[in-house]
Amino acid sequence: MNDNGFASYELREELLLALKKKGFSIPTPVQEKVLALENFETDLIVRAKTGSGKTLAFLLPLLQNMDLPQSSPRILVLSPTRELAQQTAREAEWLSRYMDISVATLVGGLDMSTQIRSLKDGAVIVVGTPGRTLDHVNRGTLRADGIHSVILDEGDHMLDMGFRDELEGILDALPQRERTWLFSATMPREVRELSKKYLSAPVSISLVEDGEQHEDIVHRAYLVPFRHKMEGLVNVLLWERPKRGLIFCHTRLETMSVAQRLSEEGFSAGSLHGEMTQRERNAVLGSFKNGHLPLLVATNVAARGLDVEGVTHVIQIGLPDDRETFVHRSGRTGRAGREGTDILLLSPQEAEKFKYMLGSAKVTVEWKNVPDLDAISKVQREIAEEKLLTVKEAGEDEDYLLWAEDLLSRVSAKNLVARLLWTLSSKRSAGYNLSSELERELRRKSRFAGEKDRTPGARPLKGRRPKGTMLRLSKGLADGWDVGRVLSSVCTSLNVDRSEVGAIRMKDDHVLVELLPVALSRFEEDCRGLERCGLLEEGKGRDFLLPASSQTQQVRGRPSGASRPRRQGKPEYRGR
């Protein structure tokens, strides 16, 4: 396109003026595809990566065809998170500035009365999260009868976060809508089912291919010892030196634990998870966006729709849940034409599972062993030297020159510089020696693979798996715990894979968890993680281990003061 790219689509003057004021002159590929459609009255499915410019892709054609003046809701945009909804609303505000159109933002965690007032004042564009928007529909504060266009932005993320009921409730309340546009990076089963139910003969536009390599993202996987993921993370951070890094964990507890450990190692890091208040989320996101907090540790759910410019690195700790999770996470970097790096920290066993997970996806992954101490030491020296040699002001200040002369009169120049370099490099961890442990794991894996190759006809017996030992934990159904929460907490606290946890039997006042050999050994070494998350009474770790051979033994082996397990409860989890 030429420098007047948007003008070639014959957009109205108000939109062209807003684009010019903002400095936008060339449409992105997704904007070109949508604006080139002959008919905007049909339903539409657009597959495009996050950060591709899709907000303008749906706002421009809808505002182009809008009759003015308007004073009631006409366009509804649904977003998966508060942050994305607020960002979309800001885009809509500057784009519609010269059309005398107002925008309302309906998100949880913010004042309801302010939102109601903005709707009463005549908002034409409404941007909201599914839960709060449905609340306004049910209250009658959002007049749905005049809404002619519904945008489902990041539909896959909204369904991932469990908003299907809310989305269907909103769409069912808008039977007079003229068009429904779905924007989604991926098309999993739930998204396809929703589109079949609510979209009529949609036009499809796709700018992505399943598993396609993002040209602006370098994927790099580091092999780390299974039991030393945290130390491996420290080494990788020291080696990669991310200016702004987003670190993904599986659970809320893990985000807090990783952020705390990084702070102890000398890094500036914060955590982002679903149980934070809106004020806490805003504070940590603000620090991350302005660069005061270079590292942000988050869960998948908390980072849905998170759009922060300049994320140089995404770091995924452990095996992603599936290929789509891997794609969603890595898409937080390499946005808007910038280059980015996606890093995975995997044990040798997880590496094989990840390769299988990728399958035929067109993704190139660079495999490396975790950086060793010698390599990290060189990087640390470069950092210290750069800091020391780039400070010009001190070399021109008379007071500092006199101070230096005084010091040199008391300490040799060599000794003084050595102390300065030590001071510059001692505030952060020097890294960990993980090479020997990783080599042992790789040898064990190779030996195991060789044994499998020598006995190609051998098959595992049905039902055969290592015997486990039951652990009785002090929380149950009545305390709000469920199988998923227990499994995640046990795996995180003991730093084990889910395959190391056997059956989980939920009761009202307690839960029985079967620990397989590796998990059991971790528990016997250190059970403080389970104590911190409230699943285990402090200081009585081994007292709560029960034989797993029979239910009667489990009942007889319960600790004193514990009530007899009831028969009622949710279906048990039997591990993998």
Closest to 326 measured CA to CA, from 266, 393, 248: 248
Cα(186)–Cα(188) distance, rounded to whole angstroms? Answer: 6
Task: Report helix angle 130-139 to 112-120, nearest 10.
Answer: 60
Q: Which residue has the tokens 């009545």?
A: 478
Per-residue pLDDT of the chain (576 residues; tens, 9 = 90+): 345 588 888 899 999 999 999 988 889 899 999 999 988 999 999 988 767 789 999 999 999 989 888 889 999 999 988 888 999 999 999 999 999 899 999 998 788 999 999 999 999 999 999 999 999 999 999 988 899 999 999 888 788 777 889 999 999 999 889 999 999 887 878 888 999 999 999 999 988 755 455 667 899 999 999 889 999 999 999 999 999 999 999 888 889 999 999 999 989 999 988 778 878 888 998 899 888 999 999 987 666 656 677 899 999 999 888 777 888 788 788 776 678 999 999 999 899 888 888 876 778 899 999 998 888 888 777 777 777 777 666 556 777 788 888 888 888 888 888 887 777 666 666 788 898 888 888 887 776 655 554 444 333 333 344 567 888 888 888 887 888 788 888 888 887 777 778 888 888 888 898 888 778 877 877 777 777 777 777 665 555 676 544 333 333 333 333 333 333 344 444 454
Q: Tokens 């006042």 correspond to what residue?
A: 509
pTM for the model stands at 0.53
Give the CA dihedral 184, 188, 189, 195, nearest 10 degrees. Answer: 10
Extended beta strands in 83-216, E state: 103-106, 125-128, 149-153, 179-183, 203-206
CA distance 446 to 348: 10
